[in-house]
Amino acid sequence: MAQTRDRMPPAKSGDASPDDHDERDDFPPSGEEGAVKWKGKRRKRGEGKREDRDRPPPPSSSHDPLEVFGADLMVMILNNLDARSVALSCLVSRAWHGVASSDRLWSLKCEVLWSGKAHIPRVCQVHGLSKLAAYSLSVMDGKRTRITKYDLCDHAWEFHFSKAAPEYWRNLDPYWKGTGPPMHRYFHLDGSQSADPGDRVWGGHECCYTIVTSFIDDGKIREHYVRINRWPPMSVYRKQDWSWEMSNSIFFYSSVPDADKFGGTGPLFPVVCGL
């Protein structure tokens, strides 16, 4: 009986990818000529697979700079960036966070930030605080416009009368007469105030102060001032060097720079309202 083979219909163009092959090629066809062709196809296919295995992988164009340069060199590179860019680098990956948040890097950033400042916030001088946190808290405190009793009491204050003050007081004021160093005032935690010994203006009278702060919606300050006895309220200003100024129509106060004061100055915890 004659043997017959079922022939499959030819595949249409587009039905298979160039990498696909006909399953019929895995079985030797009948006849000597067909067997030779079949062996040739199998040999070429095997050689192609070996070439694919031996071919080196294409070079990657997305190498991680941290892996390429190493942590020490990356610290040197990041040190040339501004603080905001370095802080954003912490979000790249865990490995980047470990390098970009290191105290070695942020110690230098803190030194630059604190350079030329009149006061260094106490909140950033807490023992064990990372330098990244110290930098962030310093920036936050430097934007604060709400003065606290700790700010008043931690600093010495230069004091002089304004031009609108009575002439008698201005004649006693070395600021106007140029007869000596400026007068100083000192605030105390019990709400009292004092002056240097021998102050001709002070006169030894009892003096106390109050800090008044009122708020509106969203925690915004509506009114904020410092008042001494029953004198007119003093408006409060924060300068670019983080020092303080207070003044009314009669006298003027300015905080004496004390950036070298051990442990910093001001409140121990961040003051949220009034930023």
% of the chain beyond a pLDDT of 70: 76
Encode pLDDT of 191-248 as tens digits. Answer: 999 999 989 898 777 899 999 998 887 778 889 999 999 999 999 999 999 999 999 9
The verdict on 75 and 105 lying in the same domain is: yes
pLDDT at 139: 96
Are residues 136 and 162 part of one domain? Answer: no
246 in the same domain as 157? yes
User: Is the pLDDT assigned to residue 72 strictly greater than 80?
Assistant: yes
Domain end position, chosen among 122, 142, 162: 142
In a domain, 87, yes or no: yes
134 lies in the same domain as 214:
no
Same domain? For 111 and 191 the reply is: no
Residues 125 and 155 in one domain: no
pLDDT tens by residue, 30-61: 556 655 565 566 666 665 556 666 666 555 55
Arithmetic mean of pLDDT over the chain: 83
Residues 138 and 162 in one domain: no
Report yes or no on 265 lying in a domain: no
- Domain count for the chain, please give it: 2
Torsion of CA 39, 40, 42, 43, to 10 degrees: 110
**39 domain residue, yes or no:** no
Q: Residue 34: what pLDDT?
A: 59
What is the spatial distance between Cα 66 and Cα 71, in angstroms, rounded to a whole number?
A: 6
Beta-strand relationship, 209-215 and 244-247: unpaired
Same domain, 153 and 229: yes
**Mapped to the 3 state alphabet, what secondary structure does 168-191 carry?**
HHHHHCHHHHCCCCCEEEEECCCC
Q: Does one domain contain both 125 and 188?
A: no
Say how many Å lie between the first and final Cα of the chain, rounded.
101
Last residue of a domain, one of 142, 174, 205: 142
pLDDT above 70 (res 260): yes
Residue 137 has pLDDT above 70, yes or no: yes
pLDDT of residue 18: 46
Segment 145-168, tens digit of pLDDT: 999 999 999 999 999 999 999 999
Residue 214 lies in a domain: yes
> Which residue segment(s) compose the domain that 194 sits in?
149-255
Query: Residue 13 falls within a domain, yes or no?
Result: no
User: Is residue 22 over pLDDT 70?
Assistant: no
Pairing between β-strand 251-255 and β-strand 244-247 as defined by DSSP bridges = antiparallel
Instruction: Name, in order, each residue with C-beta under 8 angstroms of 102's C-beta and a sequence gap of 6 or more.
Output: 75
Q: How far is CA 169 from the centre of its chain?
A: 47
pLDDT at 77: 87
As a whole number, mean pLDDT of residues 56-76 equals 73
Q: Which of 142, 176, 204 is the last residue of a domain?
A: 142
Domain-embedded: residue 272: no
